[in-house]
Structure formats: C-alpha cells, structure tokens
Chain A
Amino acid sequence: MERGPSSARVIPLAANETPAASRAALLGDLSDDELMQLSAADVNDAFATLLLRHERRVRNYCATWCGSVALSDEIAQEVFVDLWRHRHEYQSAGRFEAYLFTFVRNRCCSSHRKANVEKKLESYTPAPRDANQLQQLLESERSQRVNEAISRLRPKLREALLMRYGAELDYHEIGRIIGIPESTVRSRVFLAICELKEWAKEMGL
C-alpha cells in the first residue's frame, strides 16, 4: 500500500509553530475525548476548543437552574475550571458529556445550597422607554414566570427535567450522572412536567 508524501504531523505541545487558523481547524475536527486527552497533556487551546463547543449548553443549564444569567456565567466558569483541574482523571470512553455534567450538577447543587443561606439580591429592572423595550420586558416577564415555575419544582425533579430538556441528555446519561436507574429518571421527568403543567395553568402561561 502506497502512502502519500505528507501523511502525518506532530501538533507541538509546547512550541507552537503551527499557524493558528490551521491548528484551530485541526482541533475543531477532534472528538471530545481527543480534546480531553490533549488537555491532559496541557495543550490549552485544545481545552479552549472543548470549552467553546460546550459553553452554551452549560451556561444555559446553569442559568435556568439558578434563574439568573449573571450568576450562571460565574457558575459555568467554575464548572470549566473544575473540568480543567480534573482533566487527568477523565477516561476516554465517549462519555464526555456525562463527565462534564457531573461537574455542572455539583456546582449547581452547591450554588443552590448557598442560595438557601444567603439572601438573594433583588435585581434592578429599568422602566421601559419604548415599544421595543416594552416587548423585551414582556418577554422577560414571561420567561421569569416560567423560571419561577421551574424554581418551584423539587430540586430532584428540576434537575432531571433540566438535564433532559435543557441539556438534552438522554435518560441513560442522566441516570449515570445522578447515579439512579434510568426508570427513576423517566418518572422524575414525568412528575416534573406534570407539576410544571399545573403551575403553568395557575400562572396563565
């Protein structure tokens, strides 16, 4: 079997002479497992690629969990720093999402505990000035009501619901993350939706 003239190359781990654009494209083609392997070898831009790939889902999950966009960025940042600290412990098995969301879950749970002892600061809401702002405010209110309904769910139900519909993880993965059988995840999600439905009715959503 003949091989082409240029079939392999080294991605330098320390010295970086690969052009940034081609390096980014190369890293973008790698799987999560491969990027984690590289991150474990302290290749920081591999970790940045991984981060860029998953930040939206993690931040949105944290935002819905804690009900605050501002706070969610802080939690999500802690999640990714946790991931980086534990990058050597990751075992490549195509289970990256479960690994990542284990950190997400831990951070969200601890922020939940903190919120129970600390008084939540009231957020400042500016008065609307024009139609656009009014529309924004209405949308915000609707969103806040949905969030309020979600926040009224028991944490176990909320967690299962958000992992399923916020993070779009399958039941099996959620079961692995939380450490419960898949059937329990299913019933938690089902109960969460039933409760949410009732509150949505009450709130006129």
Chain B
Amino acid sequence: MTCPFELDVVRWVTGDTRVNELARVEGHISECASCRAKAESLRRMLSRLGEPPAEVGVKQSAPKVFVARVMETIEREARLPPKARLHPGFLVAAGFVLALGGAVGWTAHRMSEAGRARQSIGLVRPGPERSPSAVLMLARDGQVERAGARPIRASDTLVLRYSNPAAEPRYFLAFVLDAVGNVTWARTAVEGSHDQAVPAPAVVGAQSDGEVKEAVAALGGANGPRRVVAVIADRPLDPVDVRQRLQGYGAARAVRELFKDAFVAEWVLWPEEPLDRQDGK
C-alpha cells in the first residue's frame, strides 16, 4: 500500500512544497520511516545526476586535456580561410541571393565590412588605399609605441592617432565603454584630412586638469574590461547620441550596428586591479 504522502515527499525533496503545507509534510516525514527512506533515496539519486555515469575502463579525460583538444580544434578552424568555414546552408542561401541579382554589390559591401571588422579587433592593420585608419599609441618616458604590446602604467598616456587619406572630410569620435556597456567617456574631434593626435579616453595620469577628470571618469565604471572605440564617418558624430544609444548591456555589440557605414576600430583595456582598490579604498 502506498503512503498518501508519496507525492508530497517528491515535492519536499525538490523544494516545491507550498509554505502553508510545509509543517504538515515535514511532520509526516519525521514520523514515517518509509517516507524518510524514500526521501533519502530520491535525494541520493538526484545528486548522482550531476556525475558522469561510471563505466568500467572508461574515464573522462582530464579537464586540461579536454580544454587543449577543444582549443586545438578552434585554432585549426581559425586558420582556415573564411570560405572554408562557411556552413553549407549559408552557401545555399548565398547562392540564392546571388541568383536574385544585384548581389555582387551586396557581397562587396559585406566583404568590406568583414575587412573592417577584422581590422577593428585589437591591432589595427593598414587599411586599403584611401581608407581611414586609427592606431592607439602608448606614450611612456618620452617614447611612443603601439598600445597593446605591454601593460600600461598610471603615468602612461594613451594617444589615439587617426588618418583620413580621402579627399572628402570625415568626422571622428572616440569613446569608452565599461565592462557593463556604459559609455564612460566620449570625445569628438575636428574632421581630419591628415594624421592627427587626439588625447585618448583611457588616459590615467597625475595631472589635475580637465583632461584627467574625463579620463578618471573613463575608468570609473564597472570593473572589468574597457573598450576604446574610434569611429570615423562621413557624417558628424554626436557624443550625446552615443551616450544615449549605447548604454547598458549589449552596447559593445550595438556599436557596429550604430556605425555600420563608418570605419570602426576597437581596443580592449584592462584595469590592473579592481577600481575600488585603485582608489585607495
């Protein structure tokens, strides 16, 4: 004969007993040895679900071995030319789009966008002729080098250098996103037709002028990575607009959406330790 509390025992084990029934169910379990045993057996069984099944002669590979194997696969795939990485379904879809006509222009556009995306990751590579470019430089002890090659210090200055070899004027905007996607610093610059140096957002220094205040604000967001973004576009870029449209989670991703027709370069910067500790708290 089954105990009328059988289902209550299941709910009790899974933590789904209603508050107003808890005393009644627990009272029963403390008195009924059979239900106590069932609860214990259920608990044991559920706790086993997080473990891999035991198989004689078969063991899970060590975590590091597994990770190394996955990373090897990923790195091998990353070395393949982009075409070889395309999913067959994508190729069919791409073929369909091509058949519709006018796709050549679309493809060219996508390719140029992909080129820009690659360029924007980490180190900026020289772009094609007459396209704009941006480089984040690090100034230390009177020497200037490309940022990203080594850790920076508080006394360092970051300089964002951009160029626009095209005849038509372009507009420049730099801003910083903190770890949770808030814009902590934004700055426009006069349109540039030649190399120009602009004090970069992540400047951290001992100076006490207005520049440094803005820079402090740049690092004052949530702990974690800072993303420095440089945008060069054909239209004027409004920092207020950027602040409003890029707040919050997903902002880093939204950057490309917002500036899809512009040249975008990005760098990721890290505070050496949590910012509250940096403030001497």
Choose from B55, B73, B273 the contact partner of A81 (Cβ within 8 Å). Answer: B73
Question: A7 with B154: in contact, given A13-B268, A59-B60, A194-B7 (CB under 8 Å)?
Answer: yes
* Interchain CA distance A57-B66 in the complex, whole Å: 13
* Interchain CA distance A60-B252 in the complex, whole Å: 33
Question: Does B88 interact with chain A (Cβ within 8 Å)?
Answer: no
Structural contact, B272 and A7, CB atoms closer than 8 A = yes
Question: Does B30 interact with chain A (Cβ within 8 Å)?
Answer: no
Distance of A46 from chain B, by nearest CB (Å): 10
Structural contact, B270 and A6, CB atoms closer than 8 A = no
Contacts of A47 in B (CB 8 A): 71, 74
Question: Does A174 interact with chain B (Cβ within 8 Å)?
Answer: no
Structural contact, B202 and A186, CB atoms closer than 8 A = no
Please tell me which stretch of A103-111, A112-120, A161-169 contacts chain B, meaning at least 4 of its Cβ atoms lie within 8 angstroms of it.
A161-169
Give the residue name and chain of the B residue nearest to A2 (CB).
B280
Structural contact, A55 and B67, CB atoms closer than 8 A = yes
Question: Does B82 interact with chain A (Cβ within 8 Å)?
Answer: no
Distance of A15 from chain B, by nearest CB (Å): 5
Binary flags per residue of A134-149, CB closer than 8 Å to B gives 1, else 0: 0011011011101100
Choose from B10, B122, B154, B202 the contact partner of A6 (Cβ within 8 Å). Answer: B154
Q: Which of B187-223 contact A (CB under 8 A)?
A: 202, 204, 206, 216, 219
Distance of B190 from chain A, by nearest CB (Å): 27
Give me the interface of A with B, judged by CB distance under 8 Å.
Answer: 1-15, 17-18, 26, 30-31, 33-34, 37-38, 40-44, 47-48, 51-52, 55-57, 59-60, 63-64, 67-70, 72-73, 76-77, 80-81, 84, 88, 91-94, 123-126, 133, 136-137, 139-140, 142-144, 146-147, 150, 161-162, 165-168, 186, 189-190, 193-194, 196-197, 200, 205
Supply 18 further A-B pairs (C-beta < 8 A) apart from A47-B71, A123-B58. Answer: A4-B154, A7-B273, A7-B275, A9-B270, A9-B272, A12-B148, A13-B148, A31-B224, A34-B225, A37-B227, A41-B121, A51-B71, A123-B55, A125-B57, A143-B54, A144-B53, A150-B49, A200-B41
Question: 6 pairs across A/B with beta carbons < 8 Å?
Answer: A8-B202, A8-B219, A11-B269, A43-B268, A60-B50, A81-B77
Give me the interface of B with A, judged by CB distance under 8 Å.
Answer: 7, 10-11, 13-14, 16, 38, 41-42, 45-61, 63-64, 66-67, 69-71, 73-75, 77-78, 121-123, 138, 147-155, 179-181, 202, 204, 206, 216, 219, 224-225, 227, 249-250, 252-253, 266-273, 275, 278-280
- The 4 residue pairs across chains A and B that have the minimum distance between CB atoms: A13-B122, A9-B151, A63-B52, A143-B54
